[in-house]
Structure 1
Amino acid sequence: MGTGAVSNSLSSLIGKSTEAYTAKASLNEDGSINTATSTVTGDRTTDLFKNAEKEMGKDQFLQLLVTQLRYQDPLNPMENTEFVSQLAQFRSLESSSNIETAIGKLGDTFKGTVDAQRQSAESISNSSAISMIGKVVRLEQKELSWVAKAGSTTDLNIHLGNAAQATVRIVNSDGETVKTLMASQKDEENSQIITWDGLTDFGEYAQSGKYTIEIDEAKNNSEIYAFAQDMITGVRFTGDGTVVKISGKELPLSNVLDVSGGSSASELMLSPQTAISMIGKTIRVRSDAIRFTGADNESVPISVNTGGRAQVSVQIVDKLGNTVYTTTAKAGADGVADFGWNGGRNGGGYVDPGEYFIRIAGQGQDPSLYSFAEGTVSGVMNLGGETRLRVGSISVSIKDIVDISDTVRSYDQGDYV
């Protein structure tokens, strides 16, 4: 009985994926299969063949190799070279599988790290956004929401930069221009407010909805843009990022062009924790008011930041704005002019006890020129809901602080002419 006939006949029984794959065959004398006495069990949709459409892994490869060895013809065993070749293939497959697994784990680890960094960045971004509430900001405005009501209008702020004019187009969701406006009368800040009354270029009222603001000249000039400028009244966190609430609009935080303190009472607030940490620090505070008591040998200390000048002209004025004393103060190596005033008047005599004020020539045009007082923070107080610092007998607001240090600056009176 030849084995080839059996193998070929079994192959004919399991030729299709839905046919039986387990067979018990009886052979005729000529080596053919006796179909009357042969039986088959199972089908190729289960067990070994249920994952036939998937890629072969190292376990399946090893199973096939062991099965091949188990059922090899003992009179004609597998050649050594063939066996070694298949072992090498198994080793290669195993290595590839291990590398794939390692890469998969590395990918999971990298993804976890990226997710953690993203969450950390979002947390920092959210905290920064909250701290901007109460600040005046300028944001680039790329869209506007229009509500069609009789008599309604909407203002657009257009920054022209160094351009003489700009063509502003209001574009609908279909990319069609519904209104064309011109900006050509810029103010001292190179900006202009233009008003849209909702009418299209055809004299019809535009439908309610969102429109895009497009400026033709902005394509080649980054100084030209539409913007909204006002105080941030709130923030909202969305799936598309953080948006800030300004002038009744919600605009992306990423559109912020400029941030300033604003003019509200809450523009600069000092947290109690920060205030406590400043106890023992030396602070420099803008101060243009001084008090003369008229005591014997009195000398009121005055310090002026000269803004890099070698000397500055300083006036002492009364509450009515009358100049009572004028001097020229020389700056020290630290750029500060220190001198003392004994209450003397120009032309002789002394002023009456009371409050007086320091005026520096040119300080209206140069913010680096200012008079100041220094002292060590000794405590914290709360006045009207605002946390303030106690320096000596006075309370100081955070907005008046111009410098903070750990040491007290040496003071040398009399350096004036």
Structure 2
Amino acid sequence: MASSVSSALATANRTGGSASPSSDAATIAGNFNQFLTLLTTQLRNQNPLDPLDTNQFTQQLVQFASVEQQLKTNDRLDSLLTASKASAAATAAGLVGQTVTADGTTAALAKGSATWTLTAARAATRAVLTITDAKGNVVATQTKALTSGSQTYAWDGRTSTGLAAPDGTYMLKVQAVDATGQSVTVDTTVTGTIESVDVTGSEPVLSVGGRSVPLSSLQAIGGPASGA
């Protein structure tokens, strides 16, 4: 009986948003029925002079109730995530044709290509460009010179080890200095018109001036953000 309870609790603890709720629910139901069978069998065959501890039965029933509640919570979270994704897709679709300003530090790598627009306050003789993935891990670095003004930096998706990085969202950090060693400000904010929206991924990706921009990186709609 105790092993059935432990098995059920272990199943619940492993349950997450990506797990199969129907499979977990079926497992819990099977364990619960087994538990009840063992319980009633022991009650029928217990020694009247040495009855079983009813507190233990009660505690285990409470544990099963808690497990069932957790499974229901996971089901509801799945529904909320689905609804949230649908809402974000609808919002993004309604932005097509709008002029927006986005945080240009984030770009989507697709088919081995990701681009950023860099605007240097003045020429930089040495700029270190560091690309990190969504988890903050450094995947590639490059050192190059930057001219004054706006320019495009394209990444072919190759990591520092020469391997192809998987498609996804990546961030670019730029640290630049001029010929005298003074720090140079490099702006990555992008302003443009949304041409289309890709909703096939976990987050809608906007096409702004030929660039792929995640919806979450928008800063303003209708023009440049204040102070940009």
TM-score range, shorter chain: 0.5 to 0.7
Q: Does 1:260 align with 2:222?
A: yes
1:193 to 140, 150, 169: 150
1:230 to 182, 192, 209: 192
Corresponding residue SS for 1:157: strand
Q: Distance in 2 between matches of 1:106 and 1:240?
A: 27
How far the C-alpha of 1:252 sits from its partner, in A, is 0.7
How far the C-alpha of 1:144 sits from its partner, in A, is 7.5
1:250 to 207, 212, 219: 212
* 1:92 counterpart residue number: 55
* 2:145 counterpart residue number: 181
- Residue identity opposite 2:144 in structure 1: T
CA contact 2:108–2:214 (8 Å) conserved in 1:
no
Percentage of pairs with the same residue: 14
1:215 to 168, 174, 179: 174
Q: Deviations over 1:106-138 (max 9, x none)?
A: 223323333333333323222211111001112
Q: Deviations over 1:374-399 (max 9, x none)?
A: xxxxxxxxxxxxxxxxxxxxxxxxxx
CA RMSD of aligned residues (A): 4.3
CA contact 1:156–1:194 (8 Å) conserved in 2:
yes
Q: Does 1:110 align with 2:88?
A: no
Number of equivalent positions: 170
Q: Deviations over 1:218-266 (max 9, x none)?
A: xxxxx9641332110111113321110122222211111222169xxxx
Q: Distance in 1 between matches of 2:75 and 2:110?
A: 43
TM-score by length of 2: 0.54
* 1:137 counterpart residue number: 100
Q: Distance in 1 between matches of 2:111 and 2:82?
A: 37
Q: Distance in 1 between matches of 2:110 and 2:41?
A: 71
Q: Distance in 2 between matches of 1:156 and 1:253?
A: 17
CA contact 1:169–1:179 (8 Å) conserved in 2:
yes
* 1:59 counterpart residue number: 37
- Residue identity opposite 1:247 in structure 2: G
1:157 to 91, 104, 118: 118
CA separation of 1:159/1:227 partners in 2, compared to 1, >3 Å: closer, same or farther? farther
Where does the alignment leave 5 or more consecutive residues of structure 2 unmatched? 6-33, 133-137, 156-161, 177-184
CA contact 1:139–1:255 (8 Å) conserved in 2:
yes
CA contact 1:57–1:97 (8 Å) conserved in 2:
no
Q: Deviations over 1:276-333 (max 9, x none)?
A: xxxxxxxxxxxxxxxxxxxxxxxxxxxxxxxxxxxxxxxxxxxxxxxxxxxxxxxxxx
CA separation of 1:108/1:165 partners in 2, compared to 1, >3 Å: closer, same or farther? farther
- Residue identity opposite 1:232 in structure 2: I
Q: Deviations over 1:14-72 (max 9, x none)?
A: xxxxxxxxxxxxxxxxxxxxxxxxxxxxxxxxxxxxx9965593532442454454xxx
TM-score by length of 1: 0.33
CA radius of gyration, larger in = 1
The structure with more helix, counted as a fraction of residues: 2
Q: Does 1:119 align with 2:119?
A: no
